[in-house]
Structure 1
Amino acid sequence: MSKEAAGLPVTIRELRPEDRGNWQALWQGYLAFYETTLPEAVFDTTFRRLLGDDPRDFNALVAECDGRLVGLAHYLFHRHGWKEEDVCYLQDLYAAPELRGRGIGRKLMEAVYAAADAAGAPSVYWLTQEFNHTARDLYDRIGVLTPFIKYQRA
């Protein structure tokens, strides 16, 4: 994409059924960054969930520029033992590498914040790897780093 095209306005919108191929290409880029691959069945299941109507399932927003998908955000609402309201977990956030630093991640995050506000969720949280310095530069501007350390089952 040329510099001129990269300067076009970015639209944030909900994921649509016709976005499947472009969404999958973006999500594969995201997974590759984290050195992860998934079977095709997981792509099928995840895409179906993202488009579903279960309020406890995942939601997806995409960033579109010049008719092309250039970013994505996957998030869900869930109960929290310390709050009466649901909270929002942002699981995946990704912008096309050639367009990073142009506000796509911020716009997607702000759209997730707006969705959380509309749903009455007072909290939005996410995880990233310590070495993800590009993303952490954004996160340090729009969020608060917590002292929590993640563990998972061995």
Structure 2
Amino acid sequence: MSVTVRPLGDKDFFPWLGLFEGYSEFYQSDLTDEKALRVWSWVIDKNHDLDGAVAVNENGDFVGFTLYRAFPRTLSGDVGLFVDDLFVATDAREDGVGRALLDFAKEYAKSHGYRQLQWITAADNETAQKLYDEVGTRTSWVTYEAEV
């Protein structure tokens, strides 16, 4: 499958929404209209930190997306790019779409002078981890979270 990765644009809401629904379902997260619209408003707001890209196949179908944002790296005194979300449609998996999305994010980071690309995935997402082990380095950091 041949894919092109490009930045998300104002008119991409409905095809992106289909993928975002699949992403939410994959991670068993309830998706409301309000939540989807809020995330989309962040993506298209040039004053918001969140940005994104979409993978489009040769038929013009959206087959994957990634959302990312810059973050300060205090111990390095520089800036990195954090990939918050990466999703590939079920029928496009293992066709290089995830790699193409990460390559796009890496080039985006380079073009903005960011020094590192970081992302996380679920511990049981072994399919994604196969790709991630090829394109990145698994770290020794442990992630925590707390409700506020």
Q: Which band: TM-score by shorter chain? A: over 0.9
SS of 1:73's partner is strand
Say whether residues 1:28 and 2:21 are aligned partners.
Answer: yes
Quote the Cα distance in structure 2 between the aligned partners of 1:28 and 1:148: 29
What one-letter code is carried by the residue in structure 2 that aligns with 1:60?
A: G
Give 1:13 deviation, angstroms: 0.6
Question: Is there any run of 5+ residues in structure 2 with no aligned partner, and where?
Answer: none
Give 1:75 deviation, angstroms: 0.2
Quote the Cα distance in structure 1 between the aligned partners of 2:33 and 2:72: 30
SS of 2:137's partner is coil
2:111 to 112, 118, 139: 118
Q: Deviations along 1:58-94, whole A, 9 cap, x unmatched?
A: 1110000111111000000021221222111101001
Quote the Cα distance in structure 2 between the aligned partners of 1:152 and 1:95: 25
What's the TM-score, normalizing by structure 1? 0.90
| Superposition CA RMSD, Å | 1.1
Select between 106-115 and 22-31 the one with higher mean Cα deviation: 22-31
Match for residue 88 of structure 1? Answer: 81
Match for residue 127 of structure 2? Answer: 134
Quote the Cα distance in structure 1 between the aligned partners of 2:107 and 2:117: 10
Quote the Cα distance in structure 2 between the aligned partners of 1:16 and 1:88: 20
What one-letter code is carried by the residue in structure 1 that aligns with 2:54?
A: V
SS of 1:48's partner is helix
Match for residue 49 of structure 1? Answer: 42
Q: Which runs of 4+ in 1 moved over 2 A?
A: none
